[in-house]
Amino acid sequence: MTPRTGTSGSAEAEFLALLDEERRALLSGEFTRLPELDRAKQACAMRYMAQPVRAPALLAALRRNQRLLGSALQGLAAVRSRLSDWERLSQRMETYGPDGQKTGIGHGPTGKIHRKL
C-alpha cells in the first residue's frame, strides 16, 4: 500500500481505509501484510496528527484493530504452546502399566512414538 497525499479530510479517510485493510488482513490471517500496513499507517498518522480535529470513528477503528491484534497474539501463543506439547510428547511420554508401575514410552533411534499395548 502506498500512502497518498492530500487534504486533512483525505488523511482521515486514508487512515480509516488503512485500518479497515488491516482489519481484513487480521481476520483472514494474512499476517505477512501487517508490516507493510504498519509502515503505511505510520506515514498516514504523521499527516493526520498535523490536523487540529480528531475523529471519533478513527479512535473506534484503532481500538477495534488493537483488540483484533491482541486476539491474534493470544491465538499464536496458544498454537505455540500446543506445538510445544506435541514436541514434548513426541520425545517421551510416561504412563502407568497394568501393574501400576510407571513406564516410559517414547522415541527410539528413529524419534517416533511407540505404542505400547
Averaged pLDDT for residues 29-42: 93
Q: Return d(Cα 31, Cα 108) in angstroms, integer.
A: 38
Q: With residue 92 as reference, give the H or E element that holds it.
A: strand 92-96
Band of pLDDT at residue 106, cut at 50, 70 and 90: low
pLDDT at position 91 = 73
Tens digits of residue pLDDT in 38-54: 999 998 888 887 776 77
Tens digits of residue pLDDT in 64-74: 999 999 999 99
Q: Beta partners for 93?
A: 105
> Chain-wide mean pLDDT for the chain?
80
Band of pLDDT at residue 5, cut at 50, 70 and 90: very low
DSSP, residue by residue, 65-77: HHHHHHHHHHHHH
Averaged pLDDT for residues 7-35: 87
